[in-house]
Structure 1
């Protein structure tokens, strides 16, 4: 019996390195495909924004807000913002668009589509915990939710419209979106540089430039991970389960 177990164990573990290699190859191919598609999107989007002239940033902000209302993930737009506008302006425009869209979603849920949102969230234990916690410590909980998105961002905007949080506090808590926005914008800046370099439209840069950029990105990721972990701990202490949902839990 023990020999069979040992044999089975050796058989099951031998393919593991090969599986990892194959998985890595698939991941690289997938990333390359996504990168190519993003490069095409970025090129067209940049031309569109450039053709708008001084109205480009306003169109970007309006498009971001509309995407938020329509449950479209804003990460792609944030990446594009970093690639086109740079780190500072890209972060400002993305955060403005996200805040505008989040506020419109909040007001829509509170005053126009309350019943529809209530039906969507009915029986959701995570939202019930959030609703209770917001009722006790409104601004603090919403700020923590922005720092540690345990609830889908677009849905959370509508969900918070059902809570007792005042609009002023809701708007102030939008600052919690800043760390994630900066990270995605920074990533977009790097992707944009790489795409332009590959296309021959980027000015020549030395290795030191890319080393500084990559180190800056790693530092940003580290800071964001620390902030997220701290926020999750605070949410758990407030009675909101900030752990990933276990699909196998009974």
Structure 2
């Protein structure tokens, strides 16, 4: 994409009345609002998974392909609608299917869901931003696109930026679809495998919490609110794990740093 006179030529200025380009984003926002209004997002919790753990395992054992398909579709919806609960879904995948199967299934679902929101944002917002972009925005776009894959890997690997932000920003910066898919696919692999492995070891934790919760209900039959259901996942997200992801993100930027350093030396 090249810019001149404060305009970005990568996207044509959209004709007036082209309201249809907003439909994908409107549909996503409407579905998101509907899910929150119905309270369905509240079911993305360890309480729901834990209390139905045995039934879920029985269903998976009897209908493995169907259960795995439902999990992947649910993950696509969670990511595409930017619903909270991605971490719980990943841990649950490891718990229910084992990390060997859950990790690639999760990576596929997350990549498809992220691509949906990327395409919706690009269709609805990309052209409008490009048409109104000033020189600074154009310079930012050119710099990002020049090393798009490295920057995407950095954003995906560094556990600082919200997943939804990393899904939308590349669309606004004109990143090619193929580059976005590849960067997303590669960038989420380390974290997905780490949390699926962690989830695969939560079976004993769920069993223990179920016993505590049911004992509490037996002692407080008329006051269920006095029996919290908590699974502490803070121990899974350690400083060492975050540091490892941060270092991987920095490694992804090394080619960019080398390229800029080489250009600077060549200009001297």
TM-score by length of 1: 0.59
Structure 1 position 159 matched with structure 2 position 169: yes
Q: 8 Å contact 2:145–2:173 — kept in the other structure?
A: yes
The separation in 2 between residues aligned to 1:116 and 1:49, in whole angstroms, is 44
Question: In the alignment, which residue of structure 1 is the partner of 2:145?
Answer: 135
User: Are 2:126 and 2:173, in contact at CA under 8 Å, matched by a contact in 1?
Assistant: no
Checking the alignment, whether the CA contact within 8 Å between 1:179 and 1:224 is kept in structure 2 is no
Aligned 1:64-143 pairs, distance under 5 A: 64-73=75-84, 74-111=86-123, 113-114=124-125, 131=141, 133-143=143-153
1:124-171 C-alpha deviation (Å, 9 max, x unpaired): xxx999756422311111111111143210232122211221111111
- Whether the 8 Å contact between 2:156 and 2:166 is mirrored in structure 1 is no
Contact 2:90 2:106 survives alignment (8 Å): yes
CA distance in 1: counterparts of 2:242 and 2:255, whole angstroms: 20
* Alignment-derived partner of residue 231 in structure 1: 249
Change (3 A) 1:156 1:130: farther
Structure 1 position 115, deviation (Å): 6.9
Q: For the Cα contact (< 8 Å) 2:150–2:252, is it kept in 1?
A: no
CA separation in 1, counterparts of 2:187 and 2:82?
A: 19
Higher relative contact order (CA 8 A, sep 6+): 2
Unaligned ranges ≥5, structure 2: 1-44, 212-234, 258-268
Question: Which digits, 9 at most, give the CA deviation of each residue in 1:52-104, with x for residues without a partner?
Answer: 54211111111001001121231110010000111110111111110110111
RMSD (Å), alpha carbons: 4.0
Which stretches in structure 1 are left out of the alignment for 5+ residues? 1-33, 201-216, 240-250
* Counterpart residue number, 1:182: 193
Q: Distance in 2 between matches of 1:198 and 1:156?
A: 35
Distance 1:52 1:230, change over 3 A: closer
CA contact (8 A) 1:183 1:221 kept: no
Q: Is the 8 A contact 1:79 1:189 kept in 2?
A: yes
Alignment of 1:52-67 (within 5 A): 52-67=63-78
TM-score w.r.t. structure 2 length?
0.55
The answer as to 2:189 corresponding to 1:171 is no
Structure-2 residue corresponding to 1:192: 203
Say which structure is richer in helix.
1
Q: Distance in 2 between matches of 1:116 and 1:192?
A: 48
